[in-house]
Structure 1
Amino acid sequence: MSGLTAQLAAFTANPRFPDLPARAVEIVQSGFADTIATMLAGREEPVVRIAQDFVAARQSPASESSLLLGTRKAASADAALVNGAAGHALDFDDVALGGHPSTVLVPAVLAEGERLDASGEEALRAYLVGYEVWAELFRREPDAYHLKGWHPTAVLGTVGATAAVAWLNKLPQDKCRHAIALSASMACGLVANFGTMTKPLHAGRAAAAAIDAVRFAAAGLTAAPDAIEHHAGYLAALSPQGRADRESPASALGRELRVLEYGLSIKKYPTCYATHRVIDGVLDLAREHGVRSEDVEEVRARIGVAQASMLRNHQPVTGLEAKFSLEFAVASALVAGKVGLAELTDEFVGQRAVRDVFSKVKIATDDSQCPIEPIFAENDQVQIVLRDGRTLASGDIRFARGNAMAPLAQADLRTKFIDCAGRAGDIDGAALFDRLMDLRSVPRLRALAR
């Protein structure tokens, strides 16, 4: 039997999807809508301006794909870089497969799809190819990549997006294999850079690298035929404890849609997803019991080991740092009664009332592992100890609101989209949301850009 790299290439070249279930189409369309929402909301962030300046300095004559759904164009890989960074800049984009699939897949597919004049149906299927390859890689690692220092959005996303772009370009199987193997050498992103501008750049770089890998392979560049499964290859190098499955066949690829199993979790809060269950717990307790921040003696949060490793900023100073701080997430929930874009500012983080809560948050870790989301504990828990001696307990919090297992209603998705698009100022959010939620019927991706 051929090795894993070859199996991924065979699937990419000819995925042979069954008739797509309506639920799969809905999930993918929501991924496009949520990513474009966060991309529009993030387009004025400093990392996005820097990425645009970087692209402009290249002075490329190519005008293939739209930047941020506007009138400016760039080479498709450069557009994917900018749009991917924008989509992840606020850390408000969807979650699955240990990372953020759509903020890599959507910018790569949109940029290259626009260059190729692809349809919405083709974009949807390309996304699915990328998602299924990402899921195949994800299922082979029993341990949390974050604990080794790897950012899955970057290291898994580069290969997954390469498969999506290779399918869009109709590469033959041998060139798909070279592209996938090459992308494995391009994949990188470190957890140490969480809470800085480099984290969203991971997403943009992964999307751009996918396009570059396909272009290189199409031009004849070669790579190892076993780069994914080799003992000195991709899976082995990334594996936290050397337990990656490098040998079993990828027999389910194209036969079972893992997008129906894993889905997409849509974020309600623009902070690291590792904070969301705790935020839900604090908000629920505070609303039910009328708790104010000054009433609180201590907040005890119990979360998973990998979650705790990501939430490295215990005394954040900036809004960017606060995204990776459980102390801030709890403080915002107690002081503002919400955790939204308006709270993720340097000014709010610096308020005395907010900072006073930080030292009250005590974090304990749980060694259990969620079978669906391995970077999480089976459950999170919150206890709020009040100054009057009472202790309020959340009980087990299994899934955050918006999780694939507790999905948001379409009305909530629409509200988030319109709110995000409103930050762009020149986008008809309602009309664009409706087009994206019927992406399969869009004849040309170019029609999405103005």
Structure 2
Amino acid sequence: MPALLAIADVRPDTVDRIAPALAVGTAVNVALGQILGFDHYNKGWHATSTIGVLASAAAVAHQLGLGDDAVRNALSLAASLAGGMQINFGAMAKPIQAGNAALVGLRATRMAEAGITGAPDIFAARGFFDLYAGPDGIAADPAAVEPRIDLGTVSRKLYPCCYLTHRMIAAGRHLHAERGGEAVPEGSVIEMTVPESVMVPLHVTDPKDGMQAKFCAAYTLAVALQQGQVGLVDFEGDNPHRPAVRRLMDMISIQTTPESGRDHAGVDHGTVHVRLRKGNVTLAETSVAAHPGSPSDPATPAAIGDKIADCLGKYRRDGGAAPSASAFRRDLRTRLHLPPLREASAPDGQKNHARQDKPVKEMSSADQTPSERTV
């Protein structure tokens, strides 16, 4: 999306191609992920910066309406600049890697549009797949994987930290709600069991700053337990050092469940289980199998509205003049030439006096006309 919006800023005639270009880029992203498999990630690559670069280039190429040869050149140029390592997780380099995925995709496509060439088939022998595959090779035959436009497979990140902490956050929020926000008593133990692979990128145990805290399992669980929500402010300033949160972190013990084989590849298997006990007495416990915001536990319009409001709140704290969440959503949909969201009707024809920052009701597929459902 950042690459597509940047192109639209300088080429307003391409605005009405943003939605289909997003769908194409997503389809390419998913297909490449299916081919490389999770061994690519397990090897230490940051997939946003490797696979995402080609997906970005494909999306921008579609937005610009490039021909076949130019698309091949765009993908070739993007692949030559693909990179990014998980070892940077917790450092400023990590978000730079994500931004670079958009930048490289945009730049490669603009170069291809200008006539700069690359290898005609970046996926041939000794090309992208051979170089970036895991130790056991690719996971699927490229000839058998067809890019498929299905945005229903997309998981939405609801919290501003590593995706692998999100089930932990959900568990912490469940326990916070169950206990009515009651503090965890002294002498308690917070036991968390997670699939083994989940802890690989969550290598930070004592975060020194907010960037490191995004990759700390104990910190994100403790924040969710303490306040029932996790937002951008929890990764700002000295907030990772709050005594109340550190107290809970000291109570947390983490155990991993071993796993092996293709059935355990990826991030969506297993469960995260959190148990709060004091002595032999279990005070509360919960298990979370689906990531919040994933197709198995879809994000609600309210949750998406909360995330937008949190982002706008960060913008205000940095000195910006941000609109309300609902106004932001309306303006963005107008900019993207998308149909407006429908406000919920007030009973008996009365005027709706709801607060302006209340999340707007999303349209379901049943609410939309066929043309609105078509990408």
Same fold (TM over 0.5): yes
Do 1:272 and 1:323's aligned partners in 2 also have CA atoms closer than 8 Å?
yes
SS at match of 2:200: helix
The residue that corresponds to 1:153 in the other structure is 48
Q: Superposed, which structure 2 residues align to 1:288-367 within 5 Å?
A: 288-290=178-180, 291-295=182-186, 297-366=188-257, 367=259
The residue that corresponds to 1:273 in the other structure is 163
Deviations 1:166-196 (A, max 9, x none): 1122221012111102211111111011111
Bigger mean CA offset, 150-159 vs 373-382: 373-382
SS at match of 2:299: coil
Match 2:137 to one of 237, 243, 246: 243
The letter for the 2-side match of 1:286 is H
Distance 1:209 1:440, change over 3 A: closer
The residue that corresponds to 1:382 in the other structure is 274
- Cα offset for 1:135? 0.9
SS at match of 1:423: helix
Cα RMSD, aligned residues only:
2.6
The residue that corresponds to 2:128 in the other structure is 234
Which consecutive unaligned segments of at least 5 residues does structure 1 have?
1-105, 444-450
Q: What is the distance in 2 between the residues matched to 1:370 and 1:110? A: 37
Bigger mean CA offset, 386-395 vs 401-410: 386-395
Do 2:232 and 2:314's aligned partners in 1 also have CA atoms closer than 8 Å?
no
Using the aligned pairs only, state the percent identity: 27
Q: What is the distance in 2 between the residues matched to 1:245 and 1:288? A: 42
Which consecutive unaligned segments of at least 5 residues does structure 2 have?
340-375
The letter for the 2-side match of 1:164 is A
The letter for the 2-side match of 1:431 is A
Distance 1:337 1:172, change over 3 A: closer
The letter for the 2-side match of 1:418 is A
- Cα offset for 1:119? 4.8
Q: Tell me whether 1:172 sits opposite 2:62 in the alignment.
A: no
Higher RCO, 1 or 2 (CA under 8 Å, sep at least 6)?
Answer: 1
Bigger mean CA offset, 299-308 vs 152-161: 299-308
Do 1:312 and 1:324's aligned partners in 2 also have CA atoms closer than 8 Å?
yes
The residue that corresponds to 2:329 in the other structure is 433
Do 1:297 and 1:385's aligned partners in 2 also have CA atoms closer than 8 Å?
yes
Deviations 1:131-165 (A, max 9, x none): 11111101113324332111111111100000111
Do 2:44 and 2:87's aligned partners in 1 also have CA atoms closer than 8 Å?
yes
Deviations 1:368-425 (A, max 9, x none): 6897981343322222222573253313x12133223222222332233233224333
Distance 1:414 1:284, change over 3 A: closer
The residue that corresponds to 1:123 in the other structure is 18
The letter for the 2-side match of 1:432 is F
Match 1:405 to one of 289, 296, 309: 296
Do 1:229 and 1:246's aligned partners in 2 also have CA atoms closer than 8 Å?
no
Larger Rg: 2
- Cα offset for 1:320? 1.3
Do 2:38 and 2:265's aligned partners in 1 also have CA atoms closer than 8 Å?
no
The letter for the 2-side match of 1:389 is V
Do 1:313 and 1:324's aligned partners in 2 also have CA atoms closer than 8 Å?
yes
